């Protein structure tokens, strides 16, 4: 019997122990990367799968098996992607990209103890809101401010703190659902409030609100319709009129601004989107909005308004369950500080940069990329530079689309093509529409990184 035959016989009769296998030289680099415990786990599966077979001692096959088994554990599950969907603030792709200043601030806060809730002057306990509240009041004109985990939490907390057990009046045209099961009527229920609907889907008048006010009313609420628009024969009551009515009856107005911006987008030639300052100036008593939508910061729910109302919110026990950690507070403070110099926002804040990016620049980028992309996809895919319209996303300006340019890919195997792009080291996510795969280049910042990985595109394998 040859030596190889003998080894095979022995492998079947007496397979090597898991410990012996874990010492195989071919496995050592994987053990360095993944740790011994995970590799031993994979080896057990291998030994079980190959029980009774001589293959069990095939070290190369074993290594490939273990690598495949552990791939999803060795690599981070949340990976970087190219968002070329045409939606700038894409909720599923993580919304706003942070400014370098915010990234640095978060990194510093991660590395060291900080003054999160500590006052170095007095040596006493400090308030975590003090890092951001002065910025929020300065930027919105409100008396007081606080922040929680996200805008959904801000709305829930505001309603719970100010209106639990009582009635809140909302127009039927504003009883919205936004993605991820956030529905205003459900939030009301969970906050312990009774929703009083007024008006109709398309038209609500001031008199509708006035007629609904009762001794049980705790607040009037206004909600930014976000991801849909009522056009045509439509009427909503402006915040200033609602505020006059509410204040005359001793009630507050709460407004969920949704995306909520701190600067007028018209500065960059974009359609108007209500700012938090405008809402406060109109007399709204409490405004909530998101940190990671148009504001361009980390996920957060910002609450600004009258001091007595903000105080009630801060004192509510639910606030503690929704508070921000030091990383996000650091990033949020750094983001808000950028707004002190609006003229430089375009260069410093990625969200504003993407929204304000000139169409001519996007077109030039598309034309530069066209040859490399056409080479990568091969002759049976047609590639062209085409005008498209990008969306802001996350509920801002649902109908106003920004003129942009895309690389449009057309072929008989579009699904496989899209899959091949998603299979790249940095997955490229486009948008399928009208029988084409579009890569909207408004949000492509890393041109070289995109080009460099094109040679690894494997359309055939998909």
Ligand X SMILES: *Cc1c(COP(=O)(O)O)cnc(C)c1O
Residue closer to ligand X by CB (options 50, 224) is 224
Three-class DSSP category at 221:
strand
**Distance in Å, CB of 212 to ligand X, minimum:** 21
Instruction: Provide the minimum distance between the beta carbon of 306 and ligand X in the complex, in angstroms, as a whole number.
Output: 20
Long-range own/partner contacts, residues 359-368 (CB < 8 A, 24 or more apart):
359/403, 359/404, 359/405, 362/404, 362/405, 362/441, 362/442, 363/405, 365/405, 365/441, 365/444, 365/447, 366/405, 366/406, 366/407, 366/441, 368/447
- Shortest separation between residue 319's beta carbon and ligand X, angstroms: 16
- C-alpha torsion sign, points 229, 233, 238, 244: negative
Least Å from the CB of residue 397 to ligand X:
11
The span from the CA of 65 to the CA of 69, in Å, is 6
Q: Which is nearer to ligand X, 147 or 369 (CB)?
A: 147
Nearer to ligand X, 150 or 404 (CB): 150
- Closest distance between ligand X and the C-beta of residue 264, in Å? 18
- Cα 393 from Cα 19, distance rounded (Å): 53
C-beta of 148 vs 330, nearer to ligand X? 148
Nearer to ligand X, 304 or 409 (CB): 304
Nearest approach in angstroms of CB 274 to ligand X is 11
* Beta carbon nearer to ligand X, 105 or 302: 302
Q: Which helix (H) or strand (E) holds 3?
A: helix 3-13
- What tokens appear for 391 in the block? 């969306």
Provide, rounded to whole angstroms, the least separation between the CB of residue 154 and ligand X. Answer: 8
**Least separation, in Å, of the C-beta of 243 and ligand X?**
19
Residue (223 or 457) nearer to ligand X, CB? 223
Q: Which residue bears the tokens 């806060």?
A: 109
Dihedral angle sign, alpha carbons of residues 194, 199, 201, 202:
negative
Q: Kindly tell me which of 301 and 305 has the beta carbon lying closer to ligand X.
A: 301
- Closest-by-Cβ residue to ligand X is 258
* Interatomic CA distance for residues 242 and 301, integer angstroms: 23
3-state secondary structure 321-387: HCCCCHHHHHHHHHHHHHCCCHHHHHHHCHHHHHHHCCHHHHHHHHHHHHHHHHHHHCCCCEEEEEE
> Based on CB atoms, which residue is closest to ligand X, 252 or 258?
258
Angle at 91 between CA 328 and CA 374, to 5 degrees: 120
CA 229 to mean position of chain CA atoms: 22
Shortest CB 173 distance to ligand X, Å: 13
Question: Nearest Cα to 257, choosing from 272, 276, 271?
Answer: 276
With respect to ligand X, which residue has the nearer C-beta, 8 or 197? 197
DSSP state of 18: H
Whether 451 contacts 372, CB under 8 Å: yes
Query: In which residue are the tokens 């053990």 written?
Result: 31
- From the CB of 273, what's the least distance to ligand X, in Å? 11
Question: What angle do helix axes 447-454 and 359-377 make, rounded to 10 degrees?
Answer: 10
Cβ atoms of residues 16 and 57 within 8 Å: yes
CB of 394 to ligand X, least distance (A): 6
In the structure encoding, which two tokens stand for residue 418, read together? 């899209």
Beta carbon nearer to ligand X, 21 or 156: 156
What is the rounded (10 degree) CA torsion for 392, 398, 401, 404?
Answer: 30
Of 167 and 255, the one with the shorter C-beta distance to ligand X is 255
CB of 152 to ligand X, least distance (A): 3
Residues 268/292, Cβ–Cβ less than 8 Å: no
Q: Which residues bind ligand X (CB under 6 A)?
A: 150-152, 155, 178, 182, 223-224, 226, 256, 258-259, 290, 301, 394-395
């Amino acid at each position: 019997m040859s030596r190889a035959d003998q080894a095979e016989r022995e492998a079947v009769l007496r397979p090597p122990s898991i410990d012996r296998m874990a010492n195989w030289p071919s496995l050592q680099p994987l053990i360095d990367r993944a740790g011994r415990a995970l590799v031993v786990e994979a080896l057990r599966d291998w030994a079980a799968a190959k029980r009774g077979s001589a293959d069990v001692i095939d070290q190369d096959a074993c290594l490939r098996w273990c690598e495949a088994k552990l791939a999803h554990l060795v690599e981070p599950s949340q990976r970087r992607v190219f968002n070329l969907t045409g939606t700038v603030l894409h909720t599923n792709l993580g919304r706003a990209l942070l400014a370098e200043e915010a990234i640095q601030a978060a990194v510093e806060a991660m590395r060291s103890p900080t003054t999160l809730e500590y006052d170095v002057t007095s040596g006493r306990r400090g308030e975590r809101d003090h890092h951001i509240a002065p910025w929020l009041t300065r930027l919105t004109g409100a008396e007081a401010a606080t922040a929680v985990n996200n805008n959904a939490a801000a709305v829930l907390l505001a309603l719970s703190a100010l209106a639990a057990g009582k009635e809140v009046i909302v127009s039927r045209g504003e009883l919205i659902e936004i993605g991820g099961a956030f529905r205003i009527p459900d939030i009301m229920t969970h906050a312990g409030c009774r929703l009083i609907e007024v008006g109709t889907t398309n038209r609500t008048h001031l008199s509708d609100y006035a007629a609904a006010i009762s001794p049980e009313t705790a607040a009037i609420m206004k909600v930014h319709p976000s991801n849909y628009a009522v056009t045509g024969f439509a009427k909503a009551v402006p915040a200033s009129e609602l505020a006059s009515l509410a204040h005359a009856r001793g009630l507050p107005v709460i407004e969920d601004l949704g995306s909520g911006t701190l600067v007028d987008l018209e500065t960059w030639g974009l359609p108007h989107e209500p700012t938090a300052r405008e809402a406060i100036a109109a007399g709204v008593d409490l405004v909530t909005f998101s940190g990671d939508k148009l504001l361009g910061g980390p996920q957060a729910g910002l609450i600004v308004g009258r001091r007595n109302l903000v105080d009630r919110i801060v004192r509510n026990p639910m606030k503690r369950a929704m508070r921000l950690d030091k990383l996000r507070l650091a990033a949020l403070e750094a983001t808000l500080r950028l707004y002190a110099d609006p003229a430089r926002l375009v260069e410093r804040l990625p969200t504003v940069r993407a929204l304000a990016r000139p169409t001519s620049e996007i077109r030039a980028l598309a034309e530069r990329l066209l040859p490399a992309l056409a080479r990568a996809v091969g002759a049976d895919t047609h590639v062209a530079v085409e005008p498209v319209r990008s969306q802001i996303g996350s509920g801002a300006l649902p109908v106003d689309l920004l003129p942009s340019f895309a690389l449009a890919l057309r072929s008989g195997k579009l699904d496989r093509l899209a899959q091949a792009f998603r299979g790249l080291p940095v997955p490229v996510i486009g948008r399928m529409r009208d029988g084409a795969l579009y890569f909207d280049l408004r949000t492509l910042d890393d041109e070289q990184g995109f080009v460099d990985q094109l040679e690894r595109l494997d359309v055939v394998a998909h």
